[in-house]
């Protein structure tokens, strides 16, 4: 599948798109939020000042700053507590120790932070520190369930299940993640996937089952 995706969406070089703290906080903001709103929320959050200023700000001020992100009232205290814990950790706001920690320990350290799930932790570890983990977002999850790479399970469980099937090769994992994202946004969409123009349809279980009428993902899950 990776080669077909590369043929369509291109080769991707593994490089950090933003610094680790930006990646971490932005990914918390991105939960259930569009990319444009996530970016707007992050921008306004940073207008409050540096990380210490954001920790010190009243919670409702932080919630207002990130209002473009969904669930700002619950994300604000989580972000402030996450920042507090990072500030108090040995490296402070420098997360580079994650480059050296065993992957299992790095995942645990990150997921122990409030508001940080395995997807957020995996994105930081793969994108910023080039560690062999595979972030499973909604697009990656939906496509792999439809294609039949993995059986029905939670997104959380899919991180481990997919990683067990893939080589522990960060550039490979990065390209596959990014190209699946493109495929999920452009072709294998949540509702009405464009199976007629999908170049992996011959190996897709959902296509075999439903032909060109693959139902929306939520409908499929109810069956």
CA 38 to chain centre: 13
Residues in the chain: 223
Closest distance to ligand SF4 from the beta carbon of 75 (Å) = 31
Comparing CB distances to ligand SF4, the nearer of 79 and 145 is 145
Comparing CB distances to ligand SF4, the nearer of 5 and 121 is 5
Residues that bind ligand SF4 (CB under 6 A): 143, 146-147, 187-188, 193-195, 198, 200-201, 204, 206-207, 214
What is the 3 state secondary structure string of 143-172? Answer: HHHHHCCCCCCCHHHHHHHHHHHCCCCHHH
Geometric angle at alpha carbon 120, from 64 and 78, rounded to 5°: 35
Closest distance to ligand SF4 from the beta carbon of 180 (Å) = 10
Residue 199 is given by DSSP the state T
Closest distance to ligand SF4 from the beta carbon of 73 (Å) = 35
Closest distance to ligand SF4 from the beta carbon of 192 (Å) = 10
- Give Cα separations from 99 to 22, 96, 128 (angstroms): 16, 6, 9
Distance CA 152, CA 144 (A): 10
CA 178 to chain centre: 10
Comparing CB distances to ligand SF4, the nearer of 36 and 152 is 152
CA atoms within 13 A on the CB side of 154: 5
Comparing CB distances to ligand SF4, the nearer of 62 and 200 is 200
Comparing CB distances to ligand SF4, the nearer of 54 and 145 is 145
Rg (CA), the chain: 19
Closest distance to ligand SF4 from the beta carbon of 53 (Å) = 45
Closest distance to ligand SF4 from the beta carbon of 187 (Å) = 5
Comparing CB distances to ligand SF4, the nearer of 29 and 143 is 143
């Amino acid at each position: 599948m990776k080669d077909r995706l590369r043929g369509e969406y291109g080769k991707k070089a593994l490089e950090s798109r933003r610094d680790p703290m930006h990646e971490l906080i932005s990914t918390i903001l991105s939960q259930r939020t569009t990319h444009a709103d996530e970016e707007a929320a992050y921008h306004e959050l940073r207008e409050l000042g540096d990380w210490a200023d954001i920790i010190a700000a009243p919670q409702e001020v932080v919630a207002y700053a990130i209002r473009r992100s969904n669930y700002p009232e619950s994300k604000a205290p989580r972000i402030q507590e996450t920042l507090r814990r990072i500030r108090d950790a040995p490296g402070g706001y420098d997360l580079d120790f994650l480059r050296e920690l065993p992957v299992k320990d790095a995942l645990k350290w990150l997921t122990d932070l409030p508001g940080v799930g395995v997807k957020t932790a995996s994105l930081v570890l793969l994108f910023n520190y080039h560690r062999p983990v595979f972030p499973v977002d909604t697009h990656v999850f939906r496509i792999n369930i439809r294609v039949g790479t993995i059986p029905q399970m939670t997104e959380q469980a899919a991180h481990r299940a997919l990683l067990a099937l893939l080589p522990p090769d960060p550039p490979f994992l990065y390209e596959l993640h990014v190209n699946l994202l493109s495929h999920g946004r452009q072709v294998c969409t949540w509702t009405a996937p464009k199976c007629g123009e999908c170049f992996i349809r011959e190996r897709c279980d959902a296509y075999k089952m439903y032909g060109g009428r693959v139902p929306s993902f939520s409908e499929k899950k109810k069956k």
